[in-house]
Structure formats: C-alpha cells, structure tokens
Structure 1
C-alpha cells in the first residue's frame, strides 16, 4: 500500500519538528554547560581574590625585619 501525500507530509513535518527540538535541546545543553563553567571560573577567581586580600592583610600586620635600617658605617653605630 502506497503512502498518501498527507501521510508523507505529516511524516516530513514530524521529522522536521523532531530535528528542531533535538537541535534546540543540544544548544540548551551547551549554553547550560557554558554557564556552569563560567560560574565555576568566577568562583575560583573570587576565592583567589579573597586569598590575596587575606595574605595582604597578614603581610601588613607582621613586622618585617628587613625594613629596619642598619647602619653601614662604624661611626653611625
């Protein structure tokens, strides 16, 4: 039994819609994965900034013995 034109058209439309939905799903997955990766990288960057800030505060609080001026001439001692 041969397929009617209406059935062929229905199958073509169905396949087209399925292809569009599949492509849309793949694009959505790519976008969601990209958003997840960007969020992860921004979180890592924020953690690094926090660590740098904390290290800077600690360095400012600790006395640095190399900052002391030591006389180099015997008469200055």
Structure 2
C-alpha cells in the first residue's frame, strides 16, 4: 500500500483553518506557560525551572502538564 503525502493544497479550506487554529492555540498556551514560569519565583515551582521550560516545549502536553503539576499553590 503506497501512501502519498498531502500537501497544504490538498486540504480543504476548513481543514486548513482548523490546522492554523490548533497551531495558534498550542503556541499561545506554550507562550503563556513560559511567561508564567519566567515570572514565578523558583520556590513557587515544583522542580527546577529549567526542567519545566523544556517540558513546556513538548507540544500541547507540556504546557498542560506545567499548569497542572508544575506550579505550587499560592505562588
């Protein structure tokens, strides 16, 4: 079975819009997480800030994990 790779033109206008929206959402979430991490004191972060900065870079999972487990309450 041979699969051909789709190019940008092969997607419908709705599919292209969904891809751009998902990418924008993912980028905005990562930027928000990195900004929060940069402004938050080190003692208000669970673990090292360097570790969390790297984890945030992992697609959608990283920023969600940071907001769920990376921040200490009251920080």
Shorter-chain TM range is 0.3 to 0.5
Quick one: higher RCO (CA 8 Å, sep 6+), 1 or 2?
2
Greater helix fraction, Structure 1 or Structure 2: 1
Q: TM-score, normalised by structure 2?
A: 0.42
- Asked which structure has the greater CA Rg, the reply is 1
